Amino acid sequence: MTNQPALRIGVVGCGYQGAALAAALARIDSLHLVACADPDRAAASRLAATQRDVSTHASVDALLGESEVDAILVATPHHVLAPVTLAALEAGKHVMVEKPIALNAQEAAQIEAVADRTGVCCMSGYSFRYAMAKPVRELVNAGAVGEVQAFSGTIGLPPLNEGWSAYPESGGGPLLYVGSHLVDFILWFLDEPVQVSADVRRRADTGADETSAFRIRFASGALAQGVVTQTAPSFFYSFEILGRQGRITLRGVNFLQYELEVTSQALAAYAQPAVIRPRIWQDNVTMMFVPELIDFARSIHEQRPAPITARDGRRVLQVLDAIGQSGQAGVPVVLSPEAASPVLS
């Protein structure tokens, strides 16, 4: 990409995640932040002040009408992700939209359809794939576990008591907030999910999911189970992949600090259980968002699909929708690979 001009980037949503993405842009020569938008003009001004010659706007429509950009990074609350993304795609802009990309699979299917019709690059922002999931993927690709048979995972965070992330109407609750990462992690290693069953306990005050336990059956016969909760004292995650020839366990206490335990009959280096503690990066911006955005830029310059597509985002939401439906109805939900909505069995 060294001979390509820098892409002009607009950021929509100037809160915590938008600021993290802007910090990553500042470290990538091939991307240049030129505009930001947020209905909170103070937030937009704060983000714009971190770099030079950045314009501010009250909405994505204003940004698209008033500023010349090549691509948009969407980092809004969940209920605004799809409308902003669709506006940018219809304007012919490349888009990276933060997970879970929409409120549900139906909205995600609209994003997928418009991205296909307009021919622009649309990337789902699952940054865990560039962080703790990456060494796991490398071990699986090297044959450490053989054919994957089962996956189990737990991810938790402290109670979501205030702001948009607390209320289901705005896409709050841990299933969408962090459970989307867990489901994406599962789908990255297994084939098509065909059935989901779940038990979802909701908070009496906010109505959001509090703790959810779910089970996914895949076309290959593999099984996955997960627990997502907002009752933890601090953020944590734990994943385990079981195969016919080995096992990988990932345990983490934050984005930067985690460890892997590997046992493998296929790789001599792990014939005995081995614990791996990957290097601790400077910060999560360098670790996760810089490589994610570099991949996004390469996809645009090379005119190829994003490494994490809108379809990938829709598949995650299809499973999340099914978890909610199964938890409410108390019966399993059948999934169809291309259907927008799950079906109660």
pLDDT in tens, the chain (345 residues): 457 789 999 999 999 999 999 999 999 999 999 999 999 999 999 999 999 999 999 999 999 999 999 999 999 999 999 999 999 999 999 999 999 999 999 999 999 999 999 999 999 999 999 999 999 999 999 999 999 999 999 999 999 999 999 999 999 999 999 999 999 999 999 999 999 999 999 999 999 999 999 999 999 999 999 999 999 999 999 999 999 999 999 999 999 999 999 999 999 999 999 999 988 888 999 999 999 999 999 999 999 999 999 999 999 999 999 999 999 999 999 998 666 566 666
**Contact (Cβ atoms closer than 8 angstroms) between residue 319 and residue 183:** yes
Give the span between the Cα atoms of 72 and 36, in whole angstroms.
9
Extract the tokens encoding 148.
């994957």
Cβ atoms of 129 and 308 within 8 Å: the answer is yes
pLDDT of residue 121: 98
Q: What is the pLDDT of residue 279?
A: 86
One-character DSSP codes across 200-256: EEE-TTT-SEEEEEEEEEETTS-EEEEEEES--SS-EEEEEEEETTEEEEEEESSSS
Integer Cα distance of 342 and 233 in angstroms:
33
pLDDT of residue 54: 97
Other Cβ atoms within 10 Å of 301 Cβ, number: 15
3-state SS, residue 115 = helix
**8-state DSSP, 288:** I
At 164 the pLDDT is 97
Tokens of 144: 């450490």
What 3-state class would DSSP assign to 337? coil
Q: Judging by DSSP bridges, how do beta strands 236-243 and 193-202 pair with one another? A: unpaired
pLDDT at 44: 97
**b/e for 250-264, b at 16 or more Cβ within 10 A?**
bbbeebbebebebbb
Domains of the chain: 7-126+287-308 (3.40.50.720), 129-280+315-344 (3.30.360.10)
Structure tokens at 286: 């360098």
Rounded Cα gap, residues 49 and 46, in angstroms: 5
Confidence (pTM): 0.95
DSSP state of 29: T
The reported pLDDT for the residue numbered 2 is 55
**pLDDT computed for residue 184 by the predictor:** 98
Report d(CA 127, CA 129) in Å as an integer.
5
- How high is the mean pLDDT of the chain? 96
- What confidence score (pLDDT) does residue 312 get? 98
Task: Decide: residue 279, CB within 10 A, 0-12 exposed, 13-18 middle, 19+ buried.
Answer: exposed
**DSSP letter (8 states) at residue 270:** G
